[in-house]
Amino acid sequence: MEQKNLIIQYDEYNGNKELSKEDALLLERAVEVTKSAYAPYSNFKVGAALLLSNGEVIAASNQENAAYPSGMCAERVAIFYAHTKYPGESIVSLAVTAVVNQEQCETPTYPCGACRQVMAESQQRGGQPIRIIIGGSKIIQVVNSVDSLLPLAFNNLPK
């Protein structure tokens, strides 16, 4: 037996002012789109904004449903819409944040496992790493590939 280790690398910032202009704008768009979230059950509003290889920005929010788990996370709403509207474009970066009681969470709110798997397959489809910006009002973390969020993803897609 050989024991191996997983190392997850990320950059951490203390607020938007430390981010690049492009990342800050994407995160601001994610914060803005939380206002359209439909979250009457959890009051946990999530916004996601992604930048495509053609320069388009797609933003979406979570949509809950009383018939849980019929709702959809913001990340998957944005990704599925992007792949539908721009099927040949890859995702360059994706920003995600959460708001509770009209206040952005101070620390990063990480994507759920289902969203991570969808991101992993989107990354594989696009043929390039997707940068993930996970934003809180005080702490922002950036990973340079979905592999850092889901290092052992199911990725046995036919070629």
In 3-state terms, what secondary structure has residue 56? coil
CB-count burial class (<10 Å; 0-12, 13-18, 19+) for 124: middle
- Which of 75, 89, 106, 121 is catalytic? The answer is 75
Look up the pTM and report it.
0.93
What is the distance in angstroms between the CA of the first residue and the CA of the last residue of the chain? 31
- pLDDT values of the chain reduced to their tens digit, one per residue, 159 residues: 999 998 899 999 999 899 999 999 999 999 999 999 999 999 999 999 999 999 999 999 999 999 988 899 999 999 999 999 999 999 999 999 999 999 999 999 999 999 999 999 999 999 999 999 999 999 999 999 999 999 888 876 665
Instruction: Specify the pLDDT at position 153.
Output: 83
Name all domains of the chain by residue range, CATH numbers in brackets: 11-148 (3.40.140.10)
Peptide bond into 111 cis (omega under 30): no
Give the model's pLDDT for residue 68. Answer: 83
Give the other-Cβ count within 10 Å of 39's Cβ: 19
**What confidence score (pLDDT) does residue 107 get?**
96
Would residue 56 show up in a list of annotated catalytic residues for this protein? no
Q: Where are the alpha helices (DSSP H) in 18-126?
A: 21-33, 74-85, 113-126
